[in-house]
Amino acid sequence: MPEQRVNRRQFIKATGAGALATGIGANIIVPGRARAAKKTLKILQWVHFVPVYDEWFNKKLAKEWGEKNDTEVIVDNIGIAGINPRATAEVSAQKGHDLFLFNWPPPSFEEQTVDMKDVYQEVEKKIGKPIDLCIKSTYNPKTKKYFAFSPSFTPDPVNYRQDLWSQVGMPNGPKTWDEVRTVGAKIKKQFGNPVGIGLANEIDTAMALRTIMYAHGSHEQDAAGNLTLNSKQTLETIKFVKALFQETMTDEVFTWDASSNNRAMIAGKLSLALNAISITRTAEKENPENSKKIQLTKALKGSVRAIGLEHVMQCYVVWKFSENIDGAKKFLVDYTTNFRQAFVAGEFYDFPCWPKSVPDISKLIANDPKGHPADKYKVLDDVLEWATNVGYPGYANAAIDEIYSTWVLNVMFAKAASGAASPEDALKEADAQCRRIFGKWKEKKMV
């Protein structure tokens, strides 16, 4: 076989043509590659409680927004327990998602987030002002920075068994915490169904106990961010929770995780629980008969006021190391100003922080095809007025976040309720912990 020699000129021609053909050819075969300059927007979301919401967000909203803005939108969904570890890892690596959703205020990440003031201004220009809860959960008055942006929150109403409460003359459920105590005890005695306010190291407990505290005029901090836990009101609240536990509940509230009260309510065990509308929505799917018995009522009045907490606070941050800061901000503006779609897709789980973003909210919740009766969720009509943030009347700052995350108040109430400590000692111990935590974050100039 004769040897074929290739000179340098022929080699360069052949490889050049090959490279050109490979580049162009690939773009002809794979059209997406033709637009090499297309931007990317990476979003991290939690796995939503309502699966249809994720379907809508990932497959419809993200796709349509991407097409409109010449951007490839990539959405990753992770479980709620993985959010903080994931955020810490992204900060450590200085790489990750352009838009990152926390399900609670993330003040300790402030240093790494872009100021969202312009997003607030842009949205405000289009649909007016947000509710106070929104600002209190995403703004640091000390540094004057919006470390996150919140389009929505999940309310934490009272879920009660109408069939049981009707039999003791209260078909519309309790209106005050004192009624929960006295009538709840009566129901427990008569029908064997206890009240279900958690006393465990978990988030539903943390929310419910703060709701009782705020309703009774007890707070971790004042409006200016000064620690105020050690007060007469807190001591009275601890005594109230102790009595509430002894008279209306059972030991199982010490065992709970975040989904236990859902399960207990749907199983028909409890007479009352505080939770998002996840209880009623799950019951509608899994136990429709029981769902007719579970109704909702507004925030209950304590000795000072009627107030409720957010159950989940959707707080988006844009990292300083994000590769598409502008895209992330634009997505947030568009998402928030058109929040009605999200509200419907999430089956009313997420309520708007910007009232005008769902102008017909009253009409929507007054006629829900899945609810029994159809106006079951109408009770949440004024939730934007009575829902508040963790850390009320102050802002959700880094110290409040650590107190929340290390279960300081959960343990305080649980110790007193179980008799492991006197109310005075439980308060003293919790106050000492809060003092140390506040001091630490003040030193870091975050509070």
Of residues 150, 275, 322, 433, which one binds another protein by CB under 8 A? 433
Nearer to another protein, 91 or 279 (CB): 91
Binding of another protein at residue 137 (CB under 8 A)?
A: no
Nearest to 160 by CA among 304, 16, 273, 317: 273
Output the smallest distance, CB 429 to another protein, in A: 6
What are residue 285's phi and psi, to 5 degrees?
A: -85, -45
Q: By rule CB under 8 A, what count of residues binds another protein?
A: 51
Q: Which of 415, 423, 431, 434 touches another protein by CB under 8 A? A: 415
Could you tell me which of 385, 337, 398, 325 has the C-alpha nearest to residue 104?
A: 398
Least Å distance, CB 88 to another protein, is 5
Q: Among residues 132, 257, 323, 334, which is the contact residue for another protein, using CB under 8 A?
A: 257
Residue 326 is a binding residue for another protein (CB under 8 A): no
Q: How far is CA 81 from CA 46, 63, 150, 225, 418, in A?
A: 9, 27, 20, 28, 28
**Alpha-helix runs per DSSP H in 175-225:** 177-191, 203-215
Cα distance between the two ends of the chain: 83
DSSP sequence for 35-70:
-TT-EEEEEEEE--SSHHHHHIIIIIIHHHHHHHTT
Q: Which one among 54, 98, 202, 220 touches another protein, defined by CB under 8 A? A: 202
Both tokens assigned to 97: 């998602």
Q: Per residue in 317-346, is it b (16+ CB within 10 Å) or e — as a string?
A: bbbeebebeebbbbbbbbbbbebeebbebb
Asked if 165 contacts 219 with a C-beta cutoff of 8 angstroms, the reply is no
Cβ distance to another protein smaller for residue 86 or 301: 86
CB 41, CB 71: distance < 8 Å: yes
Residue 106 found at the interface with another protein (CB under 8 A): yes
The answer to whether 246 contacts another protein (rule: CB under 8 A) is no
Between 12 and 432, CB nearer to another protein:
432
Query: Interface with another protein includes 22 (CB under 8 A)?
Result: no
Burial call 390-406: b when 16+ CB within 10 Å, e when fewer: bbbbbbbbbbbbbbbee
Check residue 267 for interaction with another protein (CB under 8 A): yes
* For another protein, the closer CB: 270 or 353: 270
In DSSP terms, 70 is beta-bridged to none
CB 47 within 8 A of CB 17: no
Q: Specify the stretch interacting with another protein by CB under 8 A; choose among 8-16, 70-78, 340-348, 426-434.
A: 426-434
- The answer to whether residue 85 forms part of the interface with another protein (CB under 8 A) is yes
Would you say 199 and 414 are in contact if contact means Cβ atoms under 8 Å apart? Answer: yes
> What residues does 42 pair with on adjacent strands?
74
Task: Name the one range near another protein by CB under 8 A: 39-47, 299-307, 336-344, 399-407.
Answer: 399-407
Closest to another protein by CB, 152 vs 260, is 260
User: Tokens 């999940």 identify what position?
Assistant: 154
Stretch that binds another protein, among 95-103, 273-281, 286-294, 405-413 (CB under 8 A): 405-413
Q: Which stretch binds another protein (CB under 8 A): 208-216, 228-236, 362-370, 409-417?
A: 409-417
418 binds another protein (CB under 8 A): yes
Question: Which residue, 111 or 222, is less far from another protein as judged by CB?
Answer: 111
Q: Are 389 and 396 in contact (CB under 8 A)?
A: yes
Is residue 163 close enough to count as binding another protein by CB under 8 A?
Answer: no
Residue indicated by tokens 């409680």 = 49
When asked if residue 143 is in the footprint of another protein (CB under 8 A), the reply is no
Phi/psi at 185 (nearest 5 deg)?
Answer: -65, -40
Examine residue 253 and tell whether it contacts another protein (CB under 8 A). yes
Does residue 15 belong to the site contacting another protein (CB under 8 A)? Answer: no
Q: Which of 72, 247, 252, 381 binds another protein (CB under 8 A)?
A: 252
Task: Give me the residues that bind another protein (CB under 8 A), please.
Answer: 84-85, 87-88, 91, 94, 106-113, 192, 199-202, 250-257, 260, 263-264, 267, 269, 398, 401-402, 405-407, 410-411, 414-415, 418, 420, 429, 432-433, 436, 440, 444, 446
